Amino acid sequence: MGSIGWRGGAFLALLLASAVVIAPTFASVPAWWPWQRTIRLGLDLRGGTYLLYQVEVEQAIDNAVDRRAGELEAELREANLGAFTVDRVGREIQVRLAAKDRRAEARRLVEDRFPDLVVSESAGGEAADLQLRLAERELSRLRDGAVSQALEIMRKRIDQFGVTEPTLQTQGQDQIVVQLPGIQDPQRAKDLIGRTALLEFKLLAEGPQAGTLQAPGPGIQVLPGDANGGGRTQYLVERRPILTGDMITDASVRPGGVGEGYAVDFTLDSRGAKLFAAATTQHVRRRLAIVLDGYVQSAPEIREPITGGQGQITGRFRIEEAQDLANVLRHGALPAPLRLLEERTVGPSLGRDSIRQGSVSFVVASVFIVVFMLLYYRGGGLVADLALLLNVLLILGAFAAFGFTLTLPGIAGLVLTVGMAVDANVLILERVREELRTGKGARAAIAAGYERAWTAILDTNVTTFLSGLILFQFGSGPVRGFAVTLCLGILTTLLTAVFATRVLYDWRLANRRVTTVSV
């Protein structure tokens, strides 16, 4: 019987530890208190926005192929290889030359200038003169890197947006979950996080080769103007950018002229500055389109060469827009476009309602169970109720100690656990009653009750636990919170309703004069 003290001590220690870690959640604790962290509440309770994005990796690859095709076209034109066409067929770039004898030359150019393109041998005949595709190395770089890069860039953007405790996680192969607690303006957050922010500088097409909006010339594309600035204007621009946003090192907001809103200044790195200087020197008097995510923000004329590596984007921005644009330019473009799959926003008032209603349900349900057990099983009910108290403390303690997130379904799971935890006690006590009815003494009845009820208790809890695991696998967010509570509740129930109550009985029956139990 010496082990009673040991086991009892262990449970008392658990009780104490739980009380210590959950105290900060329910009351303000002094600074010397060993645990300061409160139980983390899910977005459905504290209010906030949950966003599920898909990184369009395949789109990123398509874009990369597109970009290479544009660049290749420009390079070939500069190399004066005679008339040619560049077509995209799926993920393949096909080049056809009018002068077949210059094929080797074209091939050399590709190999020199485009190390990430590989030439697949053409079968001759009808086939193109050069068939090119992205190298495996480049493909896997795009596939593997896109999601983690996107996550990194999104994190930086959010950090500057000033949200407390944001969480970003990848989910599955190509999805990213963003949780922003207590956010007031989800729309702005979404615009900021989800925007690709690919900045390109492209010359406006000029002269006869520009073609028309309906039939743009070779190497020319039509881009729409940004709704904010140019309205519904469309622009004919050269497909190949002279500069892209990845060469920007810094960006800041600056007030524009009267009635012009705000503008964004940017600074280029040394390579970008050189490219920009060369291009603006060569193309003075032409107009340069500043293209953000495929929309022309503005297309100012290059009045003089810009050699300082600095520029400005104007577009009658509101202050927030300008701030967010500067933010995304500083941290670079996403490697692939994002698609918003799911959005869930809970306002702070609903969150407060849920906490209140969840707590009320919990209290009422608990009182009902406690009173019922006490009335029905008397002493045995009291023991079960004590175990239930310890059980709830342990669950909340685990939430606090391990940093699990409590959600509204999680509270529901807690309520449900209260209803199911006493089931183990019911099984034991009913069994003890049966044994007593056959005329056994208290000690024998208790021992037999625990022993015979055990297989059923274990089986019922294992099955519920298994369904909890499947639930966890299936669900996300709040549903996972429920699954966690359910599974956790099973473990603490076995610990408290079975083992802790046994300690109490053993302790009571250790006294030889006690020969009865109240059940």
Partner 1 sequence: MKAKRTGEAHEAVQRGGGPAAAPATFLALIPPNPGIDFIKLSPGMLVLSAVLIGLSLALLVYRGGLNYGIDFAGGTMVEVRFPQPVATSDVRAALGQADLRGATVQDIGGGSTDFQVRVQGGETEMGSAVADDVRRGLQAKFGEGSFDVLRVEAVGPKVGRDLWRRALLAVLASTVVMGVYLWVKFNFGFGIGAAVALLHDVVITVGALALIHLEFDLTTVAALLTVVGFSVNDTVIIFDRIRETRARLRKEPLETVANLAINETLSRTVITSGTAIAVTACLLTLGGAVIHGFAFTLLAGFVIGTYSSIFVATPVVLAIERRRGHRR
Q: Which of residues 153-192 bind partner 1 (CB under 8 A)?
A: 186-187, 190
CA atoms within 13 A on the CB side of 436: 14
Shortest distance, position 311 Cβ to partner 1, whole Å: 30
Q: Does 146 interact with partner 1 (rule: CB under 8 A)? A: no
* Binding segment (CB under 8 A) for partner 1, from list 122-130, 161-169, 320-328, 336-344: 336-344
* Residues in region 30-89 near partner 1 by CB under 8 A: 44, 52
> Per rule CB under 8 A, is residue 140 in the interface with partner 1?
no
Nearer CB in complex with partner 1: 358/397: 358
The interface region with partner 1, picked from 241-249, 270-278, 305-313, 361-369 by CB under 8 A, is 361-369
Closest distance to partner 1 from the beta carbon of 181 (Å): 14
Among 176, 329, 442, 447, indicate the residue that binds partner 1 (CB under 8 A). Answer: 442
Q: Which amino acid is at 36?
A: Q
- Smallest gap from Cβ 458 to partner 1, in A, equals 9
Q: Which residue in the set 17, 210, 350, 382 belongs to the binding site for partner 1 (CB under 8 A)?
A: 350
Binding residue for partner 1, selected from 452, 495, 499, 508, defined by CB under 8 A: 452
Question: Helices 501-509 and 3-26: crossing angle, nearest 10°?
Answer: 140
Contact yes or no for 197/328 (Cβ under 8 A): yes
Q: Per-residue contact track with partner 1, 299 to 318, x per CB under 8 A?
A: --------------------
Q: Per-residue string for binding with partner 1, 370-389, x by CB under 8 A? A: --x--xxxxx----------
Q: Is 352 in the site for partner 1 (CB under 8 A)?
A: no
Nearer to partner 1, 132 or 490 (CB): 490
Contact status: 441 vs partner 1 (CB under 8 A): yes
Contact pick of 102, 141, 143, 433 for partner 1 (by CB under 8 A): 433
12: contact with partner 1 by CB under 8 A: no
Stretch that binds partner 1, among 85-93, 145-153, 265-273, 352-360 (CB under 8 A): 352-360
Chain position carrying tokens 């990430």: 116
CA distances from 352 to 14, 41, 349, 357, 363 (A): 31, 11, 5, 9, 17
Among 16, 234, 419, 451, binds partner 1 (CB under 8 A): 419
User: Rule CB under 8 A: is residue 410 a binding residue for partner 1?
Assistant: no
| Region of 196-204, 207-215, 219-227, 406-414 interacting with partner 1 (CB under 8 A) | 406-414
- Scanning residues 257 to 276, which ones bind partner 1 (CB under 8 A)? none
Separation of alpha carbons 458 and 460, rounded Å: 6
CB nearer partner 1, residue 52 or residue 146: 52
Backbone CA torsion sign across 18, 24, 29, 30: positive
Site for partner 1 (CB under 8 A): which residue of 418, 446, 498, 500? 418
Q: Report the Cα–Cα distance between both ends of the chain, in Å, rounded.
A: 23
The reply to whether 228 sits near partner 1 by the rule CB under 8 A is no
Q: Which residue has the tokens 């129930």?
A: 493
Which of 113-121, 244-252, 314-322, 358-366 is the region at the interface with partner 1 (rule: CB under 8 A)? 358-366
Q: How many CA atoms lie within 13 A of 89 on its CB side?
A: 10
- For the beta sheet containing 248-255, the strands, ordered from the edge strand earlier in sequence to the opposite edge, are 248-255, 262-268, 310-317
In the bound state with partner 1, the residue whose beta carbon lies nearer, of 52 and 236, is 52
Q: Which segments of 151-213 are extended strands (E)?
A: 167-171, 175-181, 199-203
Does the footprint of partner 1 cover residue 459 (CB under 8 A)? yes
| Relative orientation angle of helices 3-26 and 348-402, to the nearest 10 degrees | 150
State the SS3 of 129-166: CEEEEECHHHHHHHHHHHHHHHHHHHHHHHHHHCCCCC
Q: 109 or 428: whose CB is closer to partner 1?
A: 428
CB closer to partner 1, 244 vs 354: 354
Report CA 505 to chain centroid distance, whole Å: 49
Q: Count the residues of the shown chain that bind partner 1, applying the rule CB under 8 A.
A: 82
Tell me whether residue 162 or residue 172 sits nearer to partner 1 (CB atom): 172
Yes or no: say if 479 and 458 are a contact pair by the CB < 8 Å rule.
Answer: no
Q: Give yes or no for residue 287 binding partner 1 (CB under 8 A).
A: no
The stretch near partner 1 (CB under 8 A) out of 137-145, 215-223, 228-236, 350-358 is 350-358
Q: Which residues pair with 255 in a beta bridge?
A: 262
User: What is the rounded distance in angstroms from the CA atom of residue 287 to the CA atom of residue 159?
Assistant: 36
Euclidean distance between CA atoms 381 and 369, whole angstroms: 10
Please give the residues from 485 up to 514 whose contact with partner 1 meets the rule CB under 8 A.
486
Asked if 214 touches partner 1 (CB under 8 A), the answer is: no
Task: Pick one of 382, 386, 456, 491: the residue that binds partner 1 (CB under 8 A).
Answer: 456
- Whole-angstrom Cα distance, residue 241 to residue 237? 9
15 versus 374: smaller Cβ distance to partner 1: 374
When the beta carbons of 454 and 499 are compared against partner 1, the nearer one is 454
289: closest CA among 365, 201, 205, 356?
A: 201
Give the Cα separation of 218 and 207 in Å (integer): 12
DSSP labels for 432-494? HHHHHHTT--HHHHHHHHHHHHHHHHHHHHHHHHHHHHHHHHH--THHHHHHHHHHHHHHHHI
Tell me if 226 sits within 8 A of 292, measured CB to CB: yes
Question: Which one among 464, 492, 496, 501 touches partner 1, defined by CB under 8 A?
Answer: 464
